[in-house]
Amino acid sequence: MDISQVLFYALSAMALGSAIMVVISRNPVHSVLWLIITFFAISGHYILMNAQFLGIVNLIVYAGAIMVLFLFVIMLMNLNAETEPQKNKWLKLAGVVAGGCLLLVLVAALKQAEVKGKVAMLETGDIGLIRNLGKALFTDFVVPFEISSILFLSAMVGAVVIGKK
Amino acid sequence: MLSDFFILMKQELVIMVIIFVLLLLKIGADMSNEKMMNLANGLLLLNLAAGFTGNQPGVLFNEMYVTNPLIVLEKNILNLGTLIISLQSFSWLKKHDHVPEFYVLLLCTLLGMFFMISSGNLILFYIGLELSSIPLATMANFDLAAKRSSEAAMKFIMSSAFASGLLLFGISLLYGATGTLTFSEMTALITGSPLHIFAFVLLLAGFAFKISVVPFHLWTADVYEGAPVAVTSWLSVVSKGSVLFVFVSVLYTVFKPIAGNWYNMLFLLSVVTILIGNLFAIRQNNIKRFLAFSSIAQIGFILVGITGSSQVSSASVVYFVLIYVFSNLAAFGVVALVSAVTGREQVSDYKGFYKTNPVLSWVLTIALFSLAGVPPTAGFFGKFFLLMAGAGKGNYIPITIAALNMILSFYYYLRIVKAVFMDANEQPIERLTIPAYSKLAMFICVAGILITGLAGFVYDYIYALSFGF
Amino acid sequence: MSSIPLTHILFVSTALFFIGVYGLFTRRNLITMLMAIELMLNSVNINFVAFNKYLYPHTLNGVFFSLFIITVAAAEAAVAIAIIINLYRNHRSIDVEDAQEMKY
């Protein structure tokens, strides 16, 4: 077992474990903290797959900005009420069973599609370099890039209209 | 090359200029609500006129952005819908604090829809889709003091985020299976393997949410009831219309190789949608909720037409969306005026409406006749063409069910007409003075309803532009 | 170098997706529902990057799509939080079962 395999399994266990804790914790602040750990694990996966830029962006934007926003909102509006009566037990069991069936269907579909057994061809990290990313972003993908700026503008306008007292 | 960009993306650039003009006016100048609305309506009229001139087909940025005459026509239909809704929202909006923001958000969603319609790549499609739904959630919350409005916005954004999650998962599986995100390259690579079908089902779930097909329709009634009337009319007409256009185009080009699979799925969905839409529309008392369920039933009809998968079906879908713009906006125009002036939204409030407001009752009646499909209004021709398209494959079961449900739908549409004309009311809605903008909007809608069906050149023009297989 | 088959990564991302779906349907606190949606979007990101790096390593489409999904998720989270704050002001509670003014 070489080091990257060990790393992969450790990171996967961390990601899945903390994701389950996110949806099970009763306290919303605990959920946010578990989610931050999940994001660290996912960024670790990205770096393992040689997508370093995406790993760092994931950390900065998701764990660094969005989760901090969540924490601020929970703290400032004092929303961390721990008294959350749980939904019906049978509903939860039905949810788990339904999710499991969907998982089985997906696994079966993937098996047939011959993606099994392909290994990562970790080339010399030429393709993940930021320069190539930037070049492609401003030539081929410039239209979605500019539209996401309009998306942010409208989200800002909308959030201010609703959020201001 | 640069002039290529300006010519091909002309409609989107016009909308972007309008957005920035309104935003800068909000920050810089101090205009009254009425002047701002006059300016906005004038700009939207210019936008509509500019859409008809100087259009050329082409692709940009390595097939990221695509345009051809059919796409230009679809964008013009959406422009027309936008103008009519903006005219109708005059009486509600002039008492509101945030007029320029409303127009900025409205035009941002319109821009998202434009980019979604002319996408040739899944990235642009996804970003257009999100741009057309995130500002819409904030618009649904525009009655800031009303509890129902914030509840509607919450339900909308939660369901919309879940649907985009499903859609994205389908797109990721499709990318994994084919290796490309461009529509034209994907067509050749889709075979009928289970992974492709599973990805298609997830994609269909995302689309079905946006056009509120049963069983993804649960958000529709609550959001339509809670949001302000202008936003409801936008959601029910323009948002659905744009997603329908993309849906038809993606289904007929990218997923053509698995047509045998999605035919059965759509057939089942259409039957269930028409039945559930009709059954729930019968028992509604709030007129906005009623129009929500009636629109669900209309979407079921459109799905019957889509299963035909020929040039007739593609043309009849575009034609029906145009007619649906006119008829639904006529109905919503009356509802908007009554709601803005008196705040009453129950069907029982409309009893005896004819005695106090004859003109408005006639507009409402013509709109309801067109929605039901009574000749010679345009709704009849729209449904006729859809059923004809659906019968093209020779499967007569959905056609029969759809036709029988048309008869059922007559009951609930005519129930309102009866209430308006024949029932008496102790507290009828008082005589309303119709502002000039609403008069213009209702005139356009009623003219559209009465003329579009009978003037043959409209359908022939759309047919010449459509494609099928 | 690495001998991790693609299916292992896909299993992780799919399991994350379904944990997110389960969290969305089971929880009643609106903020936690939003966090479940973020989990779903992240699982899709892992999917894209895995497919890109394993099957089509000469292009960058998957990484770009992930970048745009992160962008859109940020905007969506901001708007959703604004709506939740407004809902809290109107209803004084963020229990999703309490917002029940409109029913069938």
Nearby residues of A162 by Cβ (< 8 Å), 6 or more positions away: B138, B141, B144, B153, C82, C83, C85, C86
Beta carbon pairs, B and C, within 8 Å: 118
* Cα B258 from Cα B341, distance rounded (Å): 52
Residue range B332-347: mean pLDDT, rounded: 87
**Do the Cβ atoms of C70 and A57 come within 8 Å?**
yes
Chain B touched by A153 (CB under 8 Å): yes
Picking from A55, A56, A42, A53, the residue whose alpha carbon sits closest to that of residue A132 is A53
Higher pLDDT, C28 or B132: B132
Share of chain C above pLDDT 70, in %: 86
Q: pLDDT-derived band of residue A81, with 50, 70 and 90 as boundaries?
A: low
Helix or strand (DSSP H, E) at B58: strand B58-60
Residue range A64-90: mean pLDDT, rounded: 77
Task: Please write the tens of the pLDDT for every residue from A114-143.
Answer: 554 455 555 545 555 788 888 888 888 999
pLDDT at B428 over 90: no
Chain C touched by B218 (CB under 8 Å): no
Contacts of C83 in chain B (CB under 8 A): 137-138, 141, 150, 153-154, 157
Taking CA atoms, what residue in A is nearest to B190? A113
**Do the Cβ atoms of A151 and C75 come within 8 Å?**
yes
pLDDT at A89 over 80: no
pLDDT at C45 over 90: yes
The predicted structure's pLDDT at residue A116: 47
Task: Please write the tens of the pLDDT for every residue from B205-225.
Answer: 999 998 999 888 888 988 998
Task: Please write the tens of the pLDDT for every residue from B98-134.
Answer: 899 999 999 999 999 999 999 999 999 999 999 999 9
The predicted structure's pLDDT at residue B24: 92
Task: Please write the tens of the pLDDT for every residue from B398-421.
Answer: 888 888 888 888 888 888 888 888
The predicted structure's pLDDT at residue B232: 93
Task: Please write the tens of the pLDDT for every residue from B372-401.
Answer: 988 888 888 889 888 888 888 777 888 888
The predicted structure's pLDDT at residue B140: 93
Contacts of A103 in chain B (CB under 8 A): none
Task: Please write the tens of the pLDDT for every residue from B283-312.
Answer: 888 888 888 889 999 999 899 888 887 788
- Answer for the pair B331, B292: CB distance below 8 angstroms, yes or no: no
Taking CA atoms, what residue in B is nearest to A150? B108
Q: How many domains, in total, are found in chain B? A: 1
Residue range B336-351: mean pLDDT, rounded: 85
Burial B357-379 (b: 16+ CB within 10 A, else e): beebbbbbbbbbbbbbbeeebbb
pLDDT at B10 over 50: yes
**Do the Cβ atoms of C70 and A96 come within 8 Å?**
no
Contacts of A112 in chain B (CB under 8 A): 193-195
Question: Minimal Cα–Cα distance from C4 to chain B, Å?
Answer: 17
Contacts of C19 in chain A (CB under 8 A): 16, 19-20, 22-23
Average pLDDT, chain B: 88
3-state secondary structure of B154: helix
Which domains, and CATH codes, for chain C?
A: 6-91 (1.10.287.3510)
Residue range B321-333: mean pLDDT, rounded: 92
Nearest to C41 among B151, B165, B222 (CB): B165
Average pLDDT, chain A: 82
- Domain range for residue B142? 2-465
Question: Minimal Cα–Cα distance from A23 to chain C, Å?
Answer: 5
Chain A touched by B134 (CB under 8 Å): yes
**Do the Cβ atoms of B138 and A153 come within 8 Å?**
no
**Do the Cβ atoms of B134 and A144 come within 8 Å?**
no
Contacts of C36 in chain B (CB under 8 A): none
Residue range B200-209: mean pLDDT, rounded: 91
**Do the Cβ atoms of A115 and B176 come within 8 Å?**
yes
| Helix, strand, coil % over all residues of chain C, rounded to 5 | 75, 0, 25
Pick among 1.10.10.10, 3.40.50.1980, 1.10.569.10, 1.20.120.1200: CATH of A1-81: 1.20.120.1200
Residue range B127-145: mean pLDDT, rounded: 92
The predicted structure's pLDDT at residue B434: 83
